[in-house]
Amino acid sequence: MKPVHVLNGPNLNRLGTREPHIYGHTSLAQVEAMCREAAGPRGLVFVQTNSEEKLIDAVHAAIDLACGIVINPAALSFTSLALLDALKMVEAPVIEVHISNIHKREPIYHRSYVSMRADAVICGMGAEGYPVAIRYLLCKLAD
């Protein structure tokens, strides 16, 4: 049984202290614990990187090793065609997550390249968006 891969982009290692008025007080370690609980026996691979190259490498690894991907690409959502191209190779479900409501923020955050591939997008739910995304992914696999 393949695990869920949760992939996190730049600056998410600073969750809990970074702009808490936007991103809340939940740390990345707490997000990981929430994700592990939501994934249950299926298991979880949890990655965070500040590098576009390493995030793309994590997507490539997930192509063969994951039942699906939950991805918060952070700022790379709005800048990385290379990340979009990597995600286009993924046949498993891809769920995009943003902690903040990107549509209520500055216009630069309104267009995510990743959304062009994502099967679903969750934004504005805070850290709770992660386990919601995992539960949705697991339901989609059961269909």
Segment 83-113, tens digit of pLDDT? 999 999 999 999 999 999 988 888 888 889 9
Segment 20-72, tens digit of pLDDT? 999 999 999 999 999 999 999 999 999 999 999 999 999 999 999 999 999 99
Per-residue model confidence (pLDDT) at position 118? 98
Would you say 100 is a known binding-site residue?
A: yes
Contact between 93 and 69 (Cβ < 8 Å): yes
CA angle 82, 85, 91 (to 5 degrees): 145
Would you say 115 is a known binding-site residue?
A: no
Q: Which residues are catalytic?
A: 23, 98
Residues 6 or more apart whose Cβ sits within 8 Å of residue 88: 117
All structural domains of the chain: 4-142 (3.40.50.9100)
Q: Is the pLDDT of residue 115 over 80?
A: yes
Residues 6 or more apart whose Cβ sits within 8 Å of residue 134: 4, 6, 35, 38, 39, 70, 95
